[in-house]
Amino acid sequence: MNIKVDGVVFSVEKGTRLRDILGQLKPAKTPVLAGVDGEVVGLDFRLEKDGDVHLIYSDSDEGLDILRHSASHLMAHAVLDLFPGTQVGIGPAIENGFYYDFLRETPFTPLDLETIEKKMHELADRNVPIQKIIHDKSEAVGQFKKLGQSLKVELIEEKGGESVSCYAQGGFVDFCLGPHLPSTGYIKHFKLLSVSGAYWRGDERGRQLQRIYGTVFFDKKQLADYLHLLEEAKERDHRKLGLELDLFSSCEDLGGGLILWHPKGARIRATIEQHWRERHWTGGYDILYTPHIGRASLWQTSGHLDFYKESMYSPMDIDEQDYYLKPMNCPFHIQVYKTRLRSYRDLPLRWAELGTVYRYERSGVLHGLLRVRGFTQDDAHIICTPQQIYDEILRVLDFSISLLADFGFVDNKIELSVRDPKNLAKYAGSEEMWQQAEASLVRALEARKLPYKRIEGEAVFYGPKIDIKIKDALGRLWQCTTIQFDFNMPERFDMTYVGEDNQPHRPYMVHRALLGSLERFFGILIEHYKGNFPLWLAPVQAVILPISERHEEYAVVLNKRLQERGIRSQADTRREKIGYKIRDAENQKIPLILVVGDKEVAAGTASLRVHTQGDKGQVQVVEFLDKIVDLNKNKSLTLSF
């Protein structure tokens, strides 16, 4: 009898268990499951006929998906056992875990989660087989009606074909395409994480269900690692660090989603902005400033009052005219463009602005610095001729990647969003423009050999775009850069330039933000570095700690020498023991700590301690100064002495 395992043919005896052929196969890792002719089986599965086998490993997406999905069924099983009368909604595998939605009068409490978890362990320990059952539709509907599961009935009636696939384990049955584990015994290492509300089928007018989230892994260590990652994320939370390091706050009287930048946070922001301006000026951009409010007629022309009104704040009355807070900067930049007749010789124009915009966000979505109602975009508009778009896209792509790298973000994921081919009517701009724009985006990505994901239907109505997501120290992705074509605004504002042919032409406009917003980027930066900012960004770069009062004068002089070289330095002359001051400086995450006592005063040196690295011994002041000035100027991301 011949079987093919992951493409390699083996000859085995009928009835051989999969487990027994692993010796011959010598896979690099031990598999947990296998797929045999489209079914998921355990390693004890006996091969009875010729067929295709593929091995499934504990850390593969496929394996985890099956496990997660089966764990969600196990959870539903436990919930129905514990709380009869509960209705089940849907329960898929998701990134990092699973959830299941339940319809039940009484809300689940954290205590209930423990009980459910215990029940799940019980059911898993019984190692109940999970069986696929094919019903015909009416039979399935009848069965779920009898069980009182009307949500499932609704789903089957809508989604089920003539025959309906269900999975059963013990007394629990679910309408589900699978695949699932062979039995519940595989589900050992899991944890239920939280309860929240979720709308039935995502419709906010519909019924609200209770969603329980959990996570599951094949082995104990993977679960422990994941839970550790969650802890680590909590430690890095920018809201916690923002308070501890005195970077920013928001307060009730101000209103949600509005941020106060404290001196240290503002220092970092100013450093970011300074760097950003330098890079833009040397990178071929000009910088604009525009106001925070504009007349209704402007927003009428731009179309924002038609298509963006829900995100805009109510108008204010100024001399009986309506003025609106700006949710975007583009109409202002366009006004600058229109102040004079533009020639093709003027293009491309690259106009950037750190523009503060205000957008209404629903109260429930506000989150620290990451989702706010007032924020400063590092915005720019590139206005160019059709012939220039490829060069401009390439340029902005390079620029963005290099700017992000300055802050230590070098691992990116790029997405290209294009039209939904099935719904071409809803887009602004001509067929030719879309094709040309998309081609230039693709060409630029390919010229730089940047891997990207093409997503159909994700483009906004006015043009295709490239988004860049950066990966932080915990491997989490954050969207920062967006580069979008806009075929709508030039039309609405009737932007033109005079071509070589002395005729008016419509320019192309590209809207781009690289860091995204300063608030959000700062939040990401705090979490990425866990508050341990690289030297060039640190609000306080060095602190001088005199051992006792008699070393104060030396410390003050040394401090002044650092400050004269442009280092943000402080002398801590509080009458405290050195251990106390060191602890304080370490907690404040100050990169460089200089301890000075009798020895240093006598030798004219300082003892250097580097944050998180410990005591480095004595350094010569002149050499040390040269070195840190250099590290600071070069915006080094690491400190080595």
DSSP 8-state secondary structure symbol assigned to residue 343: B
- With CB under 7 A as the contact rule, the residue among 525, 593, 628, 631 that binds RNA is 593
Residue 505 binds RNA, judged by CB under 7 A: no
The residue among 342 and 359 lying less far from RNA, judged by its C-beta, is 359
The two tokens of residue 14 are 């009928």
Q: Is the dihedral of CA 65, 67, 68, 74 positive or negative?
A: positive
Q: Where are the beta strands (DSSP E) in 19-159?
A: 31-36, 39-41, 46-47, 51-57, 87-88, 93-94, 97-103, 130-136
Distance CA 515, CA 275 (A): 12
Say which of 73, 236, 465, 551 is annotated catalytic. Answer: 465
Whether 471 is a known active-site residue: answer no
The two tokens of residue 339 are 């102040």
User: Which region, judged by CB under 7 A, interacts with RNA, from 116-124, 518-526, 541-549, 564-572?
Assistant: 541-549
Residue 475 binds RNA, judged by CB under 7 A: no
Distance CA 194, CA 491 (A): 48
What residues form DSSP beta bridges with 504? 498
> Residues 516, 519, 525, 527: what is their CA dihedral angle, to the nearest 10 degrees?
-120
Residue 582 binds RNA, judged by CB under 7 A: yes
- With CB under 7 A as the contact rule, the residue among 162, 549, 638, 640 that binds RNA is 549
Q: Could you tell me whether strands 248-249 and 286-287 are parallel, antiparallel, or unpaired per DSSP bridges?
A: unpaired
Residue 420 binds RNA, judged by CB under 7 A: no
Q: Is the dihedral of CA 482, 485, 488, 493 positive or negative?
A: positive
Q: Let me know: does 544 contact 606? Beta carbons within 8 Å.
A: yes
Q: Let me know: does 591 contact 541? Beta carbons within 8 Å.
A: yes
- Which residues in the 209-228 window bind RNA by CB under 7 A? 210-211, 213
Shortest distance in whole angstroms from residue 268 CB to RNA: 20
Residue 522 binds RNA, judged by CB under 7 A: no
Residue 24 binds RNA, judged by CB under 7 A: no
Whether 359 is a known active-site residue: answer yes
Give the position of tokens 């660090």. 241
List b or e across 204-213, with b for residues whose CB sees 16 or more CB atoms inside 10 angstroms.
eeeeebbbbb
Residue 612 binds RNA, judged by CB under 7 A: yes
The residue among 281 and 580 lying less far from RNA, judged by its C-beta, is 580
DSSP 8-state secondary structure symbol assigned to residue 284: T
Residue 579 binds RNA, judged by CB under 7 A: yes
First CA to last CA across the chain, in angstroms? 66
Counting residues that bind RNA (by CB under 7 A) gives: 62
Cis check for the bond before 27: say yes or no (omega within 30 of 0): no
Whether 465 is a known active-site residue: answer yes
Q: DSSP string covering 530-552, please?
A: TT---TTT-SS-EEEEESSGGGH
Residue 92 binds RNA, judged by CB under 7 A: no
- With CB under 7 A as the contact rule, the residue among 118, 145, 453, 599 that binds RNA is 599
Whether 152 is a known active-site residue: answer no
The amino acid at 83 = F
* Other beta carbons less than 10 A from residue 439's beta carbon: 13
Shortest distance in whole angstroms from residue 556 CB to RNA: 14
Shortest distance in whole angstroms from residue 38 CB to RNA: 30
The residue among 308 and 641 lying less far from RNA, judged by its C-beta, is 308
Distance CA 605, CA 555 (A): 11
Say which of 511, 512, 528, 568 is annotated catalytic. Answer: 511
CA 373 to chain centre: 19
Say which of 135, 238, 304, 381 is annotated catalytic. Answer: 381
Q: Could you tell me whether strands 349-358 and 286-287 are parallel, antiparallel, or unpaired per DSSP bridges?
A: parallel
Residue 366 binds RNA, judged by CB under 7 A: yes
Q: Let me know: does 312 contact 360? Beta carbons within 8 Å.
A: yes
Residue 365 binds RNA, judged by CB under 7 A: yes
Shortest distance in whole angstroms from residue 579 CB to RNA: 4
Residue of 485, 349, 382 lying closest to 428 (CA atoms): 485
The amino acid at 318 = I
Distance CA 448, CA 617 (A): 45
Residue 95 binds RNA, judged by CB under 7 A: no
The residue among 188 and 530 lying less far from RNA, judged by its C-beta, is 530
Whether 511 is a known active-site residue: answer yes
Shortest distance in whole angstroms from residue 264 CB to RNA: 15
Residue 199 binds RNA, judged by CB under 7 A: yes
Residue 309 binds RNA, judged by CB under 7 A: no
Q: DSSP string covering 442-484, please?
A: HHHHHHTT--EEEEET-SBTTB-EEEEEEE-TTS-EEEEEEEE
User: Which positions from 287 to 306 touch RNA by CB under 7 A, shown as an x/- string?
Assistant: ----------------x---
Shortest distance in whole angstroms from residue 381 CB to RNA: 15
The residue among 31 and 539 lying less far from RNA, judged by its C-beta, is 539
- With CB under 7 A as the contact rule, the residue among 34, 93, 181, 198 that binds RNA is 198
The residue among 158 and 319 lying less far from RNA, judged by its C-beta, is 158
Residue 364 binds RNA, judged by CB under 7 A: yes
Whether 69 is a known active-site residue: answer no
Distance CA 323, CA 319 (A): 10
User: Which positions from 250 to 289 touch RNA by CB under 7 A, shown as an x/- string?
Assistant: x-x--xxx--------------------------------
Whether 221 is a known active-site residue: answer no
The residue among 149 and 488 lying less far from RNA, judged by its C-beta, is 488
Say which of 304, 333, 359, 609 is annotated catalytic. Answer: 359
By annotation, the residues acting in catalysis are 330, 359, 377, 379, 381, 465, 511
The binding site for RNA (CB under 7 A) comprises 107, 109, 194-199, 202, 204, 208, 210-211, 213, 239, 243, 250, 252, 255-257, 303, 307-308, 311, 361-368, 460-462, 547-550, 575-580, 582-583, 586-587, 593, 595-600, 607, 609, 612, 614-615
